[in-house]
Amino acid sequence: MPSARELILPLRGALVPIPAQPQDGVCSICHSSAKPGFSHCLPCAEAAAADPPEILPITLSVHGELIHSHLRNYKDSPTAGVRSRMSLRLAALLATFMANHSRCVGEWDYATCVPSATRVALQPVVDRIQLFAGRYRQVLTSGPEAEARLIDPARFAVSPDVRGHRILLLDDTFVSGASVFSAAGALRDRAARVVGPVVIGRHVQRGWPPSAELLSWITKRPWDETRCARCAGERPRASLF
C-alpha cells in the first residue's frame, strides 16, 4: 500500500494553496477571491446574514483542471477503476490535511458529510481514513434539491439527536456554498456545534477577474501540507509585521 505522500504525488503540481484573510481581494468566509474593496465573494455576501461558519478549504480547485477533474470523477466517472484511484488520492489528501492541522480545525466528536439528495458521495473517501474510524456518523440526510442554490437549513433532516455535539462537517467542493451553509444551519438549529467545515476544493473560475488576479500570484506558490488558511495562509508579499 503506497503512503499518503506517494498517493498525492500526482496531484501535487495542481494543488493551489489558500490565501490568508483578512486581506483585500480574499473572502473572509470561504477564502476565495473577492472584488477589491469587498470582504466577501458573491455567494458568501448573500450568505453573510446567516452568520455562516468560516470555511477551511484544502486547495483551490480551478475549473477544468486536475483537482476539479478529481472532485467530479471520484464520484461520477463511469469507470470503477478511475473512481477508486481518485477516491484514494482524495482520501490521502484529506488525511494529510487533518494530520497536519488538527489544531487549526479544532476539537470535534465525530465527522459528518454534506449529502446530496441521492447520495453521500464523500463517505467512501472518509471511510478509507483511519482518523475517522469510529468517529464518523452520517447525521444529515438531504431532501429534494429543487432550490439547491438557496441557503435553506430545512433541506436537511438531522437524526439522531446532535444537541451539544461538536460535529466536523466535511464536503468535497465549495461552489456557491448553499449546501454546506444549509447543512451547517441545520446542525446549528439542532444545537450542535459545527467544526470546520473542511472542504477539499474551493472551486474557482479563471474567467472571473478577481479569481484571475488571485491565481496570478498564488499558483506560483507550492502547496505545502504544513500550511493552511488558518495557520499560514498565503499573502502576495511576505511581510514582517
Amino acid symbol at 221: R
Residue 203 C-beta: closest distance to Zn ion, Å: 11
- Contact between 111 and Zn ion by CB under 5 A: the answer reads no
- Contact between 98 and Zn ion by CB under 5 A: the answer reads no
Per-residue DSSP letters for 194-239? EEEEEEEEEEE-TTSHHHHHHHHHHTTSPP-TT--HHHH-B-SS--
Q: In what order do the strands lie in the sheet with 110-113?
A: 56-62, 193-204, 166-174, 110-113
Whole-angstrom Cα Rg for the chain: 17
Residue 200 near residue 223, CB atoms below 8 Å: no
Q: What is the 3-state secondary structure of 130-153?
A: HHHCCCECCCEEECCCCCCCCCCH
Question: Which of 4, 29, 60, 98 contacts Zn ion by CB under 5 A?
Answer: 29
- Contact between 101 and Zn ion by CB under 5 A: the answer reads yes
- Contact between 151 and Zn ion by CB under 5 A: the answer reads no
Q: How far is CA 113 from the centre of its chain?
A: 11
Question: Which of 4, 14, 30, 98 contacts Zn ion by CB under 5 A?
Answer: 30
- Contact between 231 and Zn ion by CB under 5 A: the answer reads yes
Decide whether 120 or 232 has the Cβ nearer to Zn ion.
Answer: 232
- Contact between 175 and Zn ion by CB under 5 A: the answer reads no
Decide whether 32 or 59 has the Cβ nearer to Zn ion.
Answer: 32
Q: What is the DSSP letter of 55?
A: P
> Binding-site residue total for Zn ion (CB under 5 A)?
11
Residue 205 C-beta: closest distance to Zn ion, Å: 13
- Contact between 133 and Zn ion by CB under 5 A: the answer reads no
Residue 225 C-beta: closest distance to Zn ion, Å: 10
Question: Which of 44, 121, 122, 214 contacts Zn ion by CB under 5 A?
Answer: 44
Decide whether 119 or 149 has the Cβ nearer to Zn ion.
Answer: 149
Q: What is the DSSP letter of 33?
A: B
Residues in contact with Zn ion, shown as a per-residue x/- string from 210 to 229 under the rule CB under 5 A:
------------------x-
For strands 156-158 and 140-142, give the pairing. antiparallel
Alpha-carbon distance of 174 to 180, in angstroms, equals 8
Q: Record the cell numbers describing residue 96, joined without a space.
A: 494529510
Residue 20 C-beta: closest distance to Zn ion, Å: 11
Question: Which of 20, 48, 82, 104 contacts Zn ion by CB under 5 A?
Answer: 104
Question: Which of 7, 8, 18, 41 contacts Zn ion by CB under 5 A?
Answer: 41
- Name the residues that contact Zn ion, by CB under 5 A: 27, 29-30, 32, 41, 44, 101, 104, 228, 230-231
